[in-house]
């Protein structure tokens, strides 16, 4: 082979090498943009690499989809990309993008579950935020097998009754603690519920379980009472007093006559509680049954839990709303009737 021919081949290979090196430099070491713009990218479960790459290119996170596919394939990461919602910026390098996808560094959302929300309300809130579907959430929250797997009721000394009397089977109503959580979009319902049940277990610990035992009530009864207090009292300072009213009524075998329990037992409640509702028998109608309803009626917060087990020292048996968030408390029916006449002239109350 002549010297000139060798030179030509050398320069061809050199040119090819420099060309490939420049492409790699361009793709791997130069950000897609000099301006840093944040972009939210949703990687769906089962989304193929080609579609992921096209999406990243379209949003300006990578320069070239084909180069990205080649890089992922050569690095053996093709099956390692995790689904979820990611927050990228346009000055990230492709290896940084891939590292985030493989590690599952998804965007987390602060979600506050309000005190007093029912399972249905929690499910709707989570669906509205695209955290988990309401139907899937409720299915797991009422699944006997899944509920048993949590070990939650064993934590409560296995004192929770079989809830065959409730709305169609066992339920975690009352046992998902209202708090602020770091959730990600499209989570598995099991994961959401486990996080909330874990917080309940931390809050309703050995001290409260022992306190319930000393008072002669089961943890289930304590949580059920706390759920009623949560719905009846919005002011922190009134919760122990409302608790005392219900404890006094339970001791004297007087029906609790709590409107929120009645409402909970009404399917498709339209917001208007009527006398007919108060006369309709359900397991939750505490105007017609003695004692507590069969399950909690919402998921109570810490203050209501503590109030249920630390009632105020008082002889009150009645209370009526003052229409400002507070209540008037009475020891006897006559005083209560006067308060009703003053504050709730048209409202039939306890």
**Helices 3-29 and 65-74: angle between axes, nearest 10 degrees:** 100
Q: Check residues 204 and 161 and name the one with the higher pLDDT.
A: 204
Quick one: pLDDT band at residue 71, thresholds 50, 70, 90? confident
Instruction: Supply 26's token pair.
Output: 């361009």
DSSP string, 93-133: -HHHHHHHHHHT----EEEE--TT--HHHHHHHHHHTTSS-
Assess contact for 214 and 170: CB atoms under 8 A: no
- Kindly provide the b/e burial profile for residues 265-285, where b requires at least 16 CB atoms within 10 angstroms of the residue's own CB: beeeeeeebeeebeeeebbbb
Element holding 328 (H helix, E strand):
strand 327-330
Q: Check residues 346 and 258 and name the one with the higher pLDDT.
A: 258
Ranked by mean pLDDT, the top range of 5-14, 25-34, 52-61, 162-171 is: 52-61
Does pLDDT of 47 surpass 70? yes
Q: Check residues 12 and 223 and name the one with the higher pLDDT.
A: 223
Q: 109 pairs with which residues across the strands?
A: 183
Average pLDDT over residues 100-125: 96
CA distance linking residue 19 with residue 63, whole number of Å: 17
Among 48-52, 145-149, 167-171, 231-235, the minimum mean pLDDT is found in 167-171
Quick one: pLDDT band at residue 160, thresholds 50, 70, 90? very low
Alpha helices in 288-348 (DSSP H): 302-309, 333-343
**pLDDT value for 151:** 87
Quick one: pLDDT band at residue 33, thresholds 50, 70, 90? confident
**What is the pTM (predicted TM-score) of this model?**
0.82
Residues 6+ apart with CB under 8 A from 91: 31, 32, 33, 34, 35, 36
Domain with CATH 3.30.1490.480 in the chain: 25-103
**Mean of the per-residue pLDDT values for the chain?**
88
Quick one: pLDDT band at residue 163, thresholds 50, 70, 90? very low
Q: Give the 3-state secondary structure percentages of the chain, helix then strand then coil, rounded to 5.
A: 50, 10, 45
Q: Check residues 230 and 3 and name the one with the higher pLDDT.
A: 230
Q: Note the CATH architecture for domain 25-103.
A: 2-Layer Sandwich (3.30)
Kind of pairing, strands 38-43 and 84-89? antiparallel
Does pLDDT of 158 surpass 70? no
Quick one: pLDDT band at residue 13, thresholds 50, 70, 90? low
Average pLDDT over residues 332-342: 91
Does pLDDT of 315 surpass 50? yes
**pLDDT value for 327:** 94
**pLDDT value for 63:** 87
Does pLDDT of 35 surpass 90? no
Average pLDDT over residues 259-285: 92
Average pLDDT over residues 94-111: 92
């Amino acid at each position: 082979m002549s010297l000139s021919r060798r030179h030509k081949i050398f320069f061809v290979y050199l040119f090819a090498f420099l060309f490939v090196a420049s492409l790699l430099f361009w793709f791997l070491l130069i950000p897609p943009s000099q301006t840093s713009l944040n972009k939210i990218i949703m990687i769906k479960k089962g989304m193929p690499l080609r579609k992921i790459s096209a999406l990243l290119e379209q949003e300006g996170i990578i320069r070239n989809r084909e180069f990205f596919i080649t890089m992922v394939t050569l690095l053996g990461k093709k099956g390692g990309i995790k689904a979820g919602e990611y927050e990228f910026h346009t000055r990230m390098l492709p290896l940084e993008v891939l590292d985030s996808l493989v590690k599952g560094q998804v965007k987390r959302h602060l979600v506050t579950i309000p005190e007093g929300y029912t399972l249905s309300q929690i499910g709707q809130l989570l669906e509205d935020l695209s955290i988990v579907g309401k139907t899937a959430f409720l299915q797991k929250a009422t699944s006997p097998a899944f509920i048993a797997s949590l070990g939650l009721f064993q934590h409560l000394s296995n004192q929770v009754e079989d809830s065959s009397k409730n709305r169609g089977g066992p339920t975690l109503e009352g046992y998902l603690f209202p708090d602020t959580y770091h959730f990600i979009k499209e989570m598995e319902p099991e994961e959401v519920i486990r996080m909330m049940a874990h917080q309940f277990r931390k809050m309703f610990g050995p001290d409260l379980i022992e306190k319930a035992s000393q008072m002669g009530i089961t943890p289930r009864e304590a949580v059920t009472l706390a759920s009623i207090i949560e719905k009846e009292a919005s002011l922190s300072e009134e919760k122990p007093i409302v608790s005392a009213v219900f404890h006094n009524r339970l001791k004297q075998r007087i029906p609790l006559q709590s409107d929120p329990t009645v409402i909970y037992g009404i399917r498709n409640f339209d917001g208007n509680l009527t006398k007919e509702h108060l006369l309709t028998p359900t397991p939750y109608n505490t105007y017609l049954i003695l004692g507590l309803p069969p399950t909690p009626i919402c998921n109570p917060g810490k203050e209501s839990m503590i109030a249920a087990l630390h009632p105020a020292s008082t002889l009150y048996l009645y209370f009526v709303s003052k229409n400002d968030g507070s209540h008037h408390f009475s020891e006897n029916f006559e005083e209560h009737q006067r308060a009703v006449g003053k504050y709730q002239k048209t409202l039939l109350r306890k």
